[in-house]
A and B are shown apart, each in its own frame.
Chain A
Amino acid sequence: MTMPLMRPKRKNPVLRTRQMNLPPWARSRVALGITAAAAEGRFELQVCEDCAAVQYPPREACHRCLSPRLTWREQSGEGELLSSTTLHHSNDLFFRERLPWRLGLVHLDAGPTLMVHLHGEVGEAPARVKVGARLDRAGQAVLIGFPNEGSAHMADDKMLREMTSDPKFRKALVTDGKTELGQALVRALVQAGADIVWVGHAEPWKKFGDGLDDIAALPQVTLVPLDLTNGRSVTELAGEIGGKVDIVINNAEVHRTFGIGSRRGTDVAKAEMDINYFGLLRLAQEFGPALKGRSADGATGASAWVNVLSIYALSNFPPHGTFSASKAAAHSLAQCLRAEMRPAGIRVINVFPGPIDDEWNQHLPPPKLLPATLANAIVKALRDGVEDVYPGDVAQEWLERWRDNPKVLERELAAGGS
């Protein structure tokens, strides 16, 4: 059983905030295959296409038959714990600051032996375990031995909290509370145990309207004025709450339909860019440094930044052409943000939803993503510690087509095939 995480005591502002020392992040190129899968929540190992051997650590050739034809395949992770140890000493600062730390040696049913971080609910060897891959605070994949059946509080495990960005007892900012998605996000965060949810609304002088009134009535919620097109508004809010926010969720967006020929001028495209791209840039410049400064601040330290992008960021969807372009720009900037946040151990989660069931996707046929479904997928991503999320059937299908052949997808989309 995992002891439920208790609400941390109020912080003494005089004490120095512990700074992040990342766990070892260097990996060979071939080993990054595990990271690529773990970034989406899968545990994959190299499998030989010729002799079917499953191998670990990753190699450049099959250790049985020398074939270079190695494919990454998802693994069940079922295996036997052969041995465990608790570190009371480490030369690495990250672990030294977090001792004692439990490790295991697992013999996977599929063949290889793995060194893993061990969840506290796994008993002494021999024991059945299920291995999964997670991103650690350096953003690199590590393997974790989980109990076959976990308890209700297993997410509160000390080691696991270091890998994930569970909203429980954390403080979050949702940049736009006016949309259905924004409100669904607030509800999902509150349900996940978030301590405080700050909710941005761009025009505080206007009447809130139904949804926002309901959200504002929740005890965890504080509405804050935030207009991402206005640098001063972003700076002011960052000055007020930047040092307290643990999770930033940027869901503010402008979405208009049409491509190039159906609308004259650049005003609408500029408005999309101003929120979808420059808005992210303004937000990142103001909130990024504060988040980085508190990334090792105990069990509820700053941990994640979520960007709600669009599956159209991967390949332009001409009926929503300028919107696609703004999301592609935001995606590119989000990769830059991820690189800049990595040294502090802040995870940047990019979410690529298919069409959301809202007024701007009115003409698109189902399936469309319900705001609540997307909100739950985002909270799940925080809990599972993944960094790329493609929620919903449409996004999954686009992703598959894009991975298979981006050029073919471009032609299909140009011909109107969504």
Chain B
Amino acid sequence: MASKRSSYEGVAVAVPVTVPYVRYSTRGAHWFLGQAVEALVQASGIAKDQIDGLCVSSFSLAPDTAVGVTQHLGLSPRWLDHIPTGGASGVMALRRAARAVQAGDADIVACVGADTNHVDSFRQTLGSFSHFARDATYPYGSGGPNSIFAFITANYMRTYGATREDFGRIAVSQRDNALKNSNALFKKPLPLAEYMAAKPISDPIHLFDCVMPCAGAEAFLVMSEARARDLGLAHVLIRAGIERHNAFADDPVMVRGGWRVDRDDLYAQAGVGPADIDFVQTYDDYPVIVMMQFEDLGFCAKGEGPAFVREHTLTFDGSFPNNTSGGQLSSGQAGAAAGFLGMTEAIRQLTDQAGARAVPSAKLGLVAGFGMVTYDRCLCTGAVILGRSE
């Protein structure tokens, strides 16, 4: 029996910022990191020198890591972390930064996910993504995770009776949400018929099941609740947080994620149940994974995902608001920033900064992360429950 996790009480999460996404950029990752930190400083009124903790996540920084970023941006933190968990990096950055603040290792931690995207960077990233990808998937022409998720999707459809329309419901609702988000790269509605008629990429994956790589950044600050109050910063509280890596390794094909291992722990720590959650920000690299999160995070039983999406409206004003910013399917996938997108959106929702896409009277939000397809599945999963500060 694992030991009981101590509480995250006393920690505030504040100042969600977004460096606007662009499809391609000639700038480097450091530019987007710099813009993100500048936005944090501007929006918070905190001097750059007061940021004494830095947590970075990026795919396009090489050969630099968070270390080089400190000199590049003239920061001198007393706590530093670099998180390589991609789509799970936002959740994991928050968990680590919160502990640093609780322990007194840092007072104000900037958590930044940022990436650039050159015309050829996606292809180059794929070939050097992991040892296993280089040895066992890239030589098959799979073009990155598309065919892995095609296998997972096809298997899920066959096993649980999901249809393409079911996945379409997820993508279409997220597009509706994105239309209220001025930062989303996709500006036009996506009718279900258009989703269904999209060209095949790696069947059953079609165009609108795939995210569009882009450049951009997402960032937020972590500090003590007292400090946030003193500074007059709107903030949210961390009610619970989990992470898990390489779960269910013996499943021959992915049908469930690591959330399933730890979800009881998650809800117990928060003292709430799935029914109490007002909105979710799932990790949406492909719709099948969103459906799996609904199941594995306890909103419905395994295999009931298709029925669940048929019964609910998933828009910000619907019965089960999911990815209220539009998610990366409709906002764009800015590399590691995609792992922060749900976090910044959840902070906005719970601090009344979500504008036209605000979830009515939202008090509790769940943010899930999912990252790093090294071979045949994503290895990193995590989730946090954030609550409105009363």
Report which A residues bind B (CB closer than 8 A): 23-28, 31, 56-58, 63, 82-92, 94-95, 101, 103-105, 107, 113-117, 125-126, 136, 138, 140, 142
Query: Which A residues are in CB contact (< 8 Å) with B138?
Result: 24, 26, 92
Asked if B202 and A85 make an inter-chain contact with CB atoms under 8 angstroms apart, the answer reads yes
Partner of A87, one of B127, B141, B152: B141
Q: Which 5 residue pairs spanning A and B have beta carbons closest together?
A: A95-B141, A85-B150, A83-B151, A31-B135, A107-B252
Partner of B147, one of A24, A57, A103, A125: A103
- Contact residues, B37-54 vs A (CB, 8 A): none
Given A83-B155, A89-B143, A113-B253, is A24 in contact with B127 using a C-beta cutoff of 8 Å?
A: yes
Residue B140 is within 8 A (CB to CB) of chain A in the complex: yes
Q: How far is the CB of B282 from chain A (nearest CB, A)?
A: 22
Query: Which A residues are in CB contact (< 8 Å) with B150?
Result: 83, 85
Q: How far is the CB of A54 from chain B (nearest CB, A)?
A: 13
Asked if B134 and A27 make an inter-chain contact with CB atoms under 8 angstroms apart, the answer reads yes
Residue B4 is within 8 A (CB to CB) of chain A in the complex: no
Given A90-B143, A107-B252, is A113 in contact with B376 using a C-beta cutoff of 8 Å?
A: yes
Report which B residues bind A (CB closer than 8 A): 122-123, 126-127, 131-132, 134-144, 146-148, 150-152, 154-155, 158, 199-205, 249, 252-253, 375-376
Given A27-B134, A107-B252, is A90 in contact with B155 using a C-beta cutoff of 8 Å?
A: no
A-B contact pairs, 7 of them (CB 8 A): A23-B139, A85-B202, A89-B143, A91-B143, A92-B138, A103-B202, A138-B139
Query: Which B residues are in CB contact (< 8 Å) with A138?
Result: 139
Partner of B142, one of A56, A57, A58, A87: A87
Q: Which interface residue of B127, B139, B143, B147 has the most chain A CB atoms within 10 A?
A: B139
How far, in whole Å, are A104 and B122 apart by their CA atoms in the complex? 24
Given A56-B136, A83-B151, is A90 in contact with B142 using a C-beta cutoff of 8 Å?
A: yes
Asked if B253 and A83 make an inter-chain contact with CB atoms under 8 angstroms apart, the answer reads yes
Chain A residue with the shortest CB-CB distance to B377: A113
Partner of A85, one of B144, B203, B249, B375: B203
Chain A residue with the shortest CB-CB distance to B136: A57
Q: How far is the CB of A301 from chain B (nearest CB, A)?
A: 19
Query: Which A residues are in CB contact (< 8 Å) with B151?
Result: 82-85, 103-105, 115
Asked if A115 and B142 make an inter-chain contact with CB atoms under 8 angstroms apart, the answer reads yes
Asked if B143 and A105 make an inter-chain contact with CB atoms under 8 angstroms apart, the answer reads no
Partner of A86, one of B158, B202, B249: B202
Q: How far is the CB of A29 from chain B (nearest CB, A)?
A: 10
How far, in whole Å, are A87 and B201 apart by their CA atoms in the complex? 6
How far, in whole Å, are A27 and B205 apart by their CA atoms in the complex? 27
Query: Which B residues are in CB contact (< 8 Å) with A107?
Result: 252-253
How far, in whole Å, are A136 and B138 apart by their CA atoms in the complex? 13
Asked if A105 and B199 make an inter-chain contact with CB atoms under 8 angstroms apart, the answer reads no
Chain B residue with the shortest CB-CB distance to A84: B154
Query: Which B residues are in CB contact (< 8 Å) with A92?
Result: 123, 138, 141, 143
Q: How far is the CB of A197 from chain B (nearest CB, A)?
A: 33
Q: How far is the CB of B219 from chain A (nearest CB, A)?
A: 29
Partner of B141, one of A28, A84, A94: A94
Asked if A103 and B376 make an inter-chain contact with CB atoms under 8 angstroms apart, the answer reads no
Query: Which A residues are in CB contact (< 8 Å) with B137?
Result: 115
Asked if B132 and A57 make an inter-chain contact with CB atoms under 8 angstroms apart, the answer reads yes
How far, in whole Å, are A314 and B205 apart by their CA atoms in the complex? 51
Beyond contacts A24-B138, A26-B127, A91-B143: 15 other A-B pairs, Cβ-Cβ < 8 A, are A25-B139, A31-B136, A57-B136, A83-B150, A83-B158, A85-B205, A88-B199, A88-B203, A89-B143, A89-B202, A90-B141, A91-B144, A92-B143, A94-B141, A117-B140
Asked if A105 and B253 make an inter-chain contact with CB atoms under 8 angstroms apart, the answer reads yes
Given A83-B154, A103-B147, is A89 in contact with B201 using a C-beta cutoff of 8 Å?
A: yes
How far, in whole Å, are A113 and B141 apart by their CA atoms in the complex? 18
Asked if B155 and A125 make an inter-chain contact with CB atoms under 8 angstroms apart, the answer reads yes
Asked if B202 and A57 make an inter-chain contact with CB atoms under 8 angstroms apart, the answer reads no
Q: How far is the CB of A78 from chain B (nearest CB, A)?
A: 14
Chain A residue with the shortest CB-CB distance to B141: A95
Asked if B126 and A85 make an inter-chain contact with CB atoms under 8 angstroms apart, the answer reads no
How far, in whole Å, are A91 and B137 apart by their CA atoms in the complex? 13
Q: How far is the CB of B144 from chain A (nearest CB, A)?
A: 7
Asked if A115 and B253 make an inter-chain contact with CB atoms under 8 angstroms apart, the answer reads no
Q: How far is the CB of B375 from chain A (nearest CB, A)?
A: 6
Query: Which B residues are in CB contact (< 8 Å) with A95?
Result: 141, 143
Chain B residue with the shortest CB-CB distance to A56: B136
Asked if B147 and A91 make an inter-chain contact with CB atoms under 8 angstroms apart, the answer reads no
Given A88-B199, A105-B253, is A115 in contact with B136 using a C-beta cutoff of 8 Å?
A: yes
Query: Which A residues are in CB contact (< 8 Å) with B122?
Result: 91
Partner of A101, one of B139, B141, B155: B141
How far, in whole Å, are A90 and B252 apart by their CA atoms in the complex? 25
Q: How far is the CB of B135 from chain A (nearest CB, A)?
A: 4
Asked if A115 and B140 make an inter-chain contact with CB atoms under 8 angstroms apart, the answer reads yes
Query: Which B residues are in CB contact (< 8 Å) with A91?
Result: 122-123, 126, 143-144
Query: Which B residues are in CB contact (< 8 Å) with A89?
Result: 143, 146, 201-202
How far, in whole Å, are A322 and B126 apart by their CA atoms in the complex? 51
Chain A residue with the shortest CB-CB distance to B127: A24
How far, in whole Å, are A57 and B132 apart by their CA atoms in the complex? 6
Query: Which B residues are in CB contact (< 8 Å) with A114?
Result: 136
Query: Which A residues are in CB contact (< 8 Å) with B152?
Result: 83
Chain B residue with the shortest CB-CB distance to A114: B136
How far, in whole Å, are A139 and B258 apart by their CA atoms in the complex? 38
Chain A residue with the shortest CB-CB distance to B200: A88
Q: Which interface residue of A26, A57, A142 has the most chain B CB atoms within 10 A?
A: A57
Query: Which B residues are in CB contact (< 8 Å) with A115?
Result: 136-137, 140, 142, 147-148, 151, 375-376
Asked if B139 and A140 make an inter-chain contact with CB atoms under 8 angstroms apart, the answer reads yes
Asked if B131 and A87 make an inter-chain contact with CB atoms under 8 angstroms apart, the answer reads no
Query: Which B residues are in CB contact (< 8 Å) with A58?
Result: 135
Query: Which B residues are in CB contact (< 8 Å) with A88?
Result: 199-203
Chain A residue with the shortest CB-CB distance to B135: A31
Query: Which A residues are in CB contact (< 8 Å) with B126?
Result: 91
How far, in whole Å, are A94 and B139 apart by their CA atoms in the complex? 10
Q: How far is the CB of A64 from chain B (nearest CB, A)?
A: 10
Asked if B134 and A86 make an inter-chain contact with CB atoms under 8 angstroms apart, the answer reads no
Q: How far is the CB of B334 from chain A (nearest CB, A)?
A: 19
Given A31-B135, A113-B376, A125-B158, is A142 in contact with B203 using a C-beta cutoff of 8 Å?
A: no
Chain B residue with the shortest CB-CB distance to A79: B252
Asked if B144 and A28 make an inter-chain contact with CB atoms under 8 angstroms apart, the answer reads no
How far, in whole Å, are A58 and B147 apart by their CA atoms in the complex? 21
Given A85-B205, A91-B123, is A103 in contact with B142 using a C-beta cutoff of 8 Å?
A: yes
Partner of A57, one of B135, B141, B253: B135
Q: How far is the CB of B248 from chain A (nearest CB, A)?
A: 12
Query: Which B residues are in CB contact (< 8 Å) with A117?
Result: 140
Query: Which A residues are in CB contact (< 8 Å) with B148?
Result: 115
Query: Which A residues are in CB contact (< 8 Å) with B140?
Result: 103, 115-117, 142
